[in-house]
Structure 1
């Protein structure tokens, strides 16, 4: 039984000929020409729809290409019940630490230098699994300048109070201060 026969209980009848096998030929000679014209119209409409979808998709799509010695973030794609790179759950990060590209394997595949704890993971990844790491050396602060203790904590010292505001609630008033901290950037005022 064909897929058409199952729900409808009868054989499929083509628009080209409404006769059973072994009966007379075509009922109307123009029927074939009309069917061919309809097929051409359908093909043209499919091509225009496909080109429209491609043009809409190409707006946000960008070509990725990396060089050797670039740093890239590696995408962690979670699968139910599988732990990848020691992370599991919906609160895990989307991209892993930046890794250096050691060589280009193919047009869209790169080999990464993975640390020793990820020795069981295959080092070759597709370009879609990576995101360029835009590192800015000016944002790196040395740990000696901050004064990190052995417990990996540091003492925050206020340098200046920029602004003071008092917010009135129903019952009480709350004061808010804008403070500049030592060893922090301008964007990190609190």
Structure 2
């Protein structure tokens, strides 16, 4: 198989996506470890008969910050340290 340099395209870096080296965490097999960094927001998801508290989580991802909404109860069990300074969920 051959490779022609003409197939290459110029890549412009986006400095907003640069992750400082000290924030990169690797496991013993040198794989990048994505971990939650902080709780950004809280909401209560209203269903027909129930209310489910959810949290918006910022992750240290390979391509810069990523955000996901997670079930608060399950997330709090797995990562209690993120909730030490968090405010209680509003139940309106």
TM-score range for the pair, normalised by the shorter chain length: 0.3 to 0.5
Greater RCO (Cα-Cα under 8 Å, separation 6 or more):
2
Quick check: which one's helix share is greater? 1
TM-score by length of 1: 0.26
Quick check: which one's strand share is greater? 2
TM-score by length of 2: 0.45
Which structure: larger Rg? 1
